[in-house]
Chains A and B, each alone.
Chain A
Amino acid sequence: MNTANTAIDQKRQQARNKRFLQSPQGKSLAWLSLSVSTVAFFLIVAIKPTVITITKLIKEIEEKEAASLLLDKKIASLIAAQKIYAENSQRLPMLNQALPEKSEFPWLANFLDSAALSSQIELSSLSFEKINLNLASLAKQSQKPSSYQSINFSTNAKGDYLNLKNFVSLLESSRRLIRIELAGVSETKKKNEEETNTTLQLNISGVMFFENE
């Protein structure tokens, strides 16, 4: 009995739907649904890839514009640097004197010797720390990237106060970058000498620098 009623209800509903679709309102709704479905279909199939491509291109253009601005800035700074380089090109060799590419430790020995001679003092000892002359292995050994390397040295000199002072001032007037870490003066008395001619001993420990390639 129930199934028969249900079947009748379904038939009535179908008839109602058929009538509705044949009415002008039903036809409009069907066309509207078809239009919306078509729009949805084309949105997915055609518009989506186009919008994604446009977005990618806009993003790429923005990135390249930013890179172009950065490169313009770099070119401007290079032109400025070139101008400054041209203005100071004659003075640039002084930088190599101050911070040479190699350790050039014999230069320091020669410099200290000539400074001692011109200051009229006696250079009694000069020692350098262990120097690695192989720059390639030196670069491998240094874990931290640094723009320079250093060599420690120490020297002893004997003379009177004024000459030792002159020696230190010569050391300070060196173009080569030298840092005096420690300077000590002690008195050395010699037998058979008068007290007025007391000799002083100067101990200097320092560091000299060179460029790290």
Chain B
Amino acid sequence: MFLMAVLALLVAVIWIYLSVFKVLNKPEEEPVLTPQEARVINPQLDEEVFDELEKRNY
């Protein structure tokens, strides 16, 4: 009887562990941000292009 109880406890602990593992490794069904929302723009601007264009008159 005692052995069966210990076995049940062991099964319960392993079951919980596997369930948690499954939840942690489950791929995201819907990402929090869309790829467009996640895209970070680069604010760097090469101002030499403007200087170069200003030199051109036509």
Q: Which residue numbers of A lie inside 8 Å of B, CB to CB?
A: 29-30, 32-34, 36-37, 39-41, 43-44, 47-48, 51-52, 55-56, 59, 63-64, 66-67, 70-71, 73-74, 77-78, 80-81, 84, 88, 91, 94-95, 97-98, 111, 115, 170, 173-175
Contact = CB atoms under 8 A, between A and B. Distances in A.
B58 A173 contact: yes
A70 B32 CA distance: 11
A59 B43 contact: no
A23 to B, nearest CB: 15
Contact of A52 (B6, B23, B41, B58): B23
A74 B5 contact: no
- Chain B's interface: helix, strand, loop or mixed, by majority? helix
Interface residues on B, range: 35 or more
Contacts of A55: 20, 23-24
Instruction: Name the 3 nearest CB pairs between A and B, nearest first.
Output: A80-B43, A36-B5, A43-B12
Contacts of B57: 173, 175
Contacts of A81: 41, 43
A185 B22 CA distance: 74
A142 to B, nearest CB: 21
A19 B58 CA distance: 112
Nearest to B12: A43
A40 B3 CA distance: 13
B42 A70 contact: no
B12 A44 contact: yes
